[in-house]
A and B are shown apart, each in its own frame.
Chain A
Amino acid sequence: MRQRLPMIVFAAAMAAIPFIPGMPPFWIVLLDNIGLAALVAMGLVLLTGVGGLTSFGQAAFCGFGAYATAVLTTAYGLSPWLTLPLALLVSGIAAVALGLITVRLSGHYLPLGTIAWGLGLFYLFSKLEFLGRNDGISGIPPLSIGAFKMIDPGTIYYAIWSSVLLCALLTTNLLDSRTGRAIRALRRGHVAAEAFGVQTPRAKLLVFIYAAVLAGLSGWLYAHFQRAANPTPFGAQAGIEYLFIAVVGGAGYVWGGVLGATIVVILKEILQSYLPYLFHGEGQLETIVFGILLVALLQLAPTGVWPWLIAHTPFKLHRNRPDTSLTLPPRTRDKAAPSVLLQIDHARKAFGGVIAVNDVSFDVRLREIVALIGPNGAGKSTTFNLITGVLPSSGGTISVLGNKINAAPQEVAKLGIARTFQHVKLVPDMTVLENVAIGAHLRGKAGALASMLRLDRADEAKLLAEAARQIERVGLSAHIDTLAGSLSLGQQRIVEIARALCVDPMLLLLDEPAAGLRHMEKQQLAKLLRELRNSGMSVLLVEHDMGFVMDLADRIVVLDFGTKIAEGAPEAIKANPDVIRAYLGAVA
């Protein structure tokens, strides 16, 4: 309840505004426009700020929503309430079609694509006969409940702002869930999330559709507010403006969208009414100011106004400690499992002419710690990437308990292989608990809809409990609510281990886990790894700290230039002349 309090106060305040005596109707219209823009901006926050997918084309989705209801109510006489789900469906379907094509694109191709289809759709709206070409469609019926018609701005105000509040609630719920963590991990690249079973293309498509549906809702409301729809508000300019709103408010924050909409809509109003007096020029002067402000903002305050505002309020975010008595069902382990867990048979990887891994074969048995060592460039990390399905292999087979691995990291995670990364891949602006909980992604079931409606709480509590238990196990309980980005590099590596443990893995792949650790921390890590082995887990690690490796490993595999040159117990490896030659260049 405590977390909900600010929102309830805000809702009550918004509900009271139209009752303020002497409230100018003009201000209510302004608030209506703010609400409409806030809906689109909220979708953009999720898409761009949280998910890292920049779209300049959101206005086109508003257009889908507005035109859908305009056509259906005027030409077919449907009730506006009936067209609401249809309008959302139309925007959603448009998003699926465009999303399937574009969200797989990396980096800058997506925003460029959105500019292109934003323009294309604008011209389509303004040329199609049944959409009324440039004149658009007028005479759209108002929203009505029984005989009560929401004609004046003061009544549709309630429809608009209850939509805003509802969507803000659903969006915050979504972000604070299993699916939400997957979405928040998107911005930092897909390899880490996929290693824990997140279907990143699906997560991207989901936010894309979600943002489009919010824009469609805004468009539907707009059509019934203006009682007309024409192409202009759905053009490229508007699409750019929505992104501007999100950036101004704070693209990473749901309420940043609402704040940004407030600032920009009011600013625009002021600029439109006063600039012409100052410069006696013809219209559109506000775009100059907008453009300059946008550039200045990116240089001076790239995170937007909302985080600045929050940092200056006395309220501190209250976080509940997860109840660690809840447990997740452990992985079902086959009692009659063969003793060999991981079998690598003539694995090969060629990058063009360079053969990074050349017919390497070795295996990892149950309850065993195997170390993979070799000089830099020996192919250790590439071998890891082959095992975890990040890279497709060029030849040979890799199998886990008899199941062959094909290139799909999510499937490898399901088989019970969890990994850490040589270059730490955590989400720096998520807490340690949230980062670690991504590791338990495959062990939860709740989907996006359940999360929005808070039907996922039982599932979610178990996931967080598991994450908290693993954090305790690696000894980072004191930092459970710290942002991962503010930990030291060594601690971040330990967080990665906790995240991997959340998979309940049979095989743990650790890529240089001891790098950046102090002596005591290394000893604690070795102790933890031995405990894990004794409890039935196998560990395969790449490490350069020879003291650490020789002390810990049951068996060592040595690679040099992509080829296995030795394998055996630590004592034998220390004395192996080939190994000494590889490391020191000659027989020492």
Chain B
Amino acid sequence: MLFLLQDGITNGAIYALLGLALVLVFAVTRIILIPQGEFVTYGALTYATLSSGQVPGTARLALAMGIVAFGLDLFAGRRSLQLSLVGRAFAVNVLLPAAILALTYAIAGRQNPIALNIALSLSIVAAIGLFLYRIAFAPIAHTSVLVLLIASVGCHLALQGFGLVFFGAEGQRGPALSNAVFTIDPLRFTGQSIAVYVITLALIAGLGLFFSLTLTGKALRATAVNRLGARLVGIRTALSGQIAFLLASVIGAISGILIVPITTLYYDTGFLIGLKGFVAAIIGGLVSYPLTAIAALLVGGVEAFSSFYASNFKEVIVFTLIIPVLLLRSLAAPAVEEEKD
């Protein structure tokens, strides 16, 4: 029993991270981030690929997306091109991913410190997240939640397809952050699972501080409450969207790096993991961080117990969990008129 609970908490911690990222992105941009799962896969498999001394395809993808984003920036600003702005766009969109790619080539084929691999994986996925917002969502940021959702599904399809191209259909595992093992009877703790707990808690606390203490965090919260109002007081909402995507992609990649030493990840595993984060986020109503974190632990627990007692129906049970939640929401939620475009 206890080890099931332990397993559930480990998984739940990951779902909590993803759920928080989803809530963050939805609150700031109204985008339901289906590709969150791809950030997990990309993070995990990029890390695994780097650890085996190869160049991950994601680094090339980041550069390609950066070039497209740069092109879009040029096109959008074609009437008032200033050298300084163009230069900055070029630096962020082209030079940065090019530098990352060059670095991955430079260190390929050698045994590198884990920290370097992690840092590289995170920056690659962060760049992809940033450019994804610029390319796919910034041009339609003003449209309805539904249009954004459909676009989000489109991004998921494309990124998952790329995942298959880059990483192949074979599953991979990455090296653990720590190989320590100790036992507190009857439970056995690995350094990795401790890392999962510590990093999850640290990230949640960090996000909390970021949102309550920093100006950027406050600006993001303001954008979440009212886009138009935020714009009127001078917050660049497009920038808010980019920051939200940056945070979400980094959180996704961290989750991926945390779990890839524990379970074998395939190119499409991220989608399912992300969706479980979703179940948690939906239980939290896509607005509440603490409720989402608690719900994520619940999802992890339900998954662990159902995989033990009814392993065949594990996924069915986890995804059906959403139905009673939706039912409660539909009974409790007042039928508010939505002003649609």
Contacts and interface: CB of A to CB of B under 8 A. Distances in A.
Interface of A: 52, 54, 56, 101-102, 104-109, 111-113, 115-117, 119-120, 123-124, 127, 187-191, 240, 243-244, 247, 279, 281-295, 298-299, 302, 423
A291 B165 contact: no
A191 B326 CA distance: 22
A245 to B, nearest CB: 12
20 contacts: A101-B327, A104-B335, A105-B329, A105-B333, A109-B282, A111-B149, A112-B278, A113-B326, A117-B323, A120-B316, A124-B313, A127-B316, A189-B340, A243-B153, A281-B164, A283-B164, A294-B153, A298-B150, A299-B139, A302-B143
Given A282-B169, A291-B155, A109 B326 contact: yes
A292 B158 contact: yes
Contact of A288 (B32, B153, B165, B312): B165
Given A284-B161, A284-B164, A299-B140, A292 B154 contact: yes
B156 interface: yes
**Top 9 closest pairs, chain A to chain B, by CB:** A291-B158, A291-B157, A294-B154, A288-B161, A120-B319, A287-B161, A123-B315, A116-B322, A295-B154
B330 A102 contact: yes
Contact of A295 (B158, B161, B278, B315): B158
A409 B319 CA distance: 36
Given A109-B326, A284-B161, 7 more contacts: A107-B338, A109-B329, A112-B278, A116-B322, A119-B275, A127-B316, A298-B147
B160 A287 contact: yes
Interface string B260-300: 00000000000010010011001000100000000000000
A107 B146 contact: yes
Contacts of B315: 119-120, 123
Contact of A189 (B139, B158, B320, B339): B339
A294 B157 contact: yes
A297 B136 CA distance: 11
B319 A119 contact: yes
Interface residues of B, number: 52
* Most central of A115, A243, A244, A423 by chain B CB within 10 Å: A115
B319 A117 contact: yes
A292 B68 CA distance: 13
Contact of B151 (A52, A102, A298): A298
B258 interface: no
Contacts of B339: 189, 423
Nearest to A286: B161
A287 B146 CA distance: 21
B115 to A, nearest CB: 32
A187 B330 CA distance: 18
A108 B326 contact: no
Given A116-B275, A117-B319, A120-B319, A288 B162 contact: yes
B330 A101 contact: yes
B145 interface: yes
Contact of B279 (A111, A116, A188): A116
Contact of A124 (B159, B169, B286, B316): B316
A293 B151 CA distance: 10
Contact of B319 (A104, A116, A283, A293): A116
B2 interface: no
Interface of B: 32, 34, 135-136, 139-140, 143, 145-147, 149-151, 153-162, 164-165, 168-169, 272, 275, 278-279, 282, 286, 312-313, 315-316, 319-320, 322-323, 326-327, 329-330, 333, 335-340
Contact of B146 (A54, A113, A191, A299): A54
Given A54-B146, A290-B157, A292-B154, A113 B338 contact: no
Nearest to B165: A281
Given A117-B320, A295-B151, A112 B32 contact: yes
A119 B278 CA distance: 13
A113 B323 contact: yes
Given A240-B157, A291-B158, A299-B139, A108 B149 contact: yes
Given A112-B282, A116-B319, A54 B149 contact: yes
Nearest to A290: B157
A240 B330 CA distance: 24
Given A127-B313, A190-B335, A295-B158, A102 B149 contact: no
A287 B157 contact: yes
A298 B140 contact: yes
Nearest to A287: B161
A45 B54 CA distance: 47
Contacts of A299: 139-140, 151
Given A115-B275, A291-B161, A294-B150, A106 B155 contact: no
Contacts of B278: 112, 115-116
Contacts of B159: 291
Contacts of A302: 143, 147
Contacts of B337: 189-191
Contacts of B157: 240, 287-288, 290-291, 294
Q: Which of B312, B330, B333, B336 has the most CB of A within 10 A?
A: B330
A54 B32 contact: no
B72 to A, nearest CB: 10
Contacts of B164: 281-284
B207 to A, nearest CB: 23
Contacts of B313: 123-124, 127
A587 to B, nearest CB: 37
The winner among A115, A191, A247, A295 for most chain B CB atoms within 10 A is A295
Nearest to B156: A291
Contacts of B279: 116
Report which residue of B154, B161, B335 has the largest number of chain A beta carbons within 10 angstroms of its beta carbon. B154
Contacts of A124: 313, 316
Nearest to B147: A298
Given A190-B335, A282-B169, A104 B151 contact: no
A279 B165 contact: yes
Contacts of A127: 312-313, 316
B322 A113 contact: yes
B98 to A, nearest CB: 22
Contacts of B139: 299
Nearest to A104: B330
A227 B299 CA distance: 39
Contacts of B156: 291
B227 to A, nearest CB: 16
A54 B337 CA distance: 17
Contacts of A116: 275, 278-279, 282, 319-320, 322-323
Nearest to A133: B312
B116 to A, nearest CB: 29
A112 B150 CA distance: 11
A109 B282 CA distance: 8
Contact of B340 (A188, A291, A293): A188
A433 B81 CA distance: 49
B162 A106 contact: no
Contacts of A243: 150, 153
A282 B155 contact: no
Contacts of A112: 32, 149, 278, 282, 322
B138 to A, nearest CB: 10
Given A112-B32, A123-B316, A298-B151, A282 B168 contact: yes
Contacts of B162: 288
Contacts of A101: 323, 326-327, 330
B270 to A, nearest CB: 14
A285 B165 CA distance: 8
A488 B316 CA distance: 52
Contact of A291 (B140, B154, B329, B335): B154
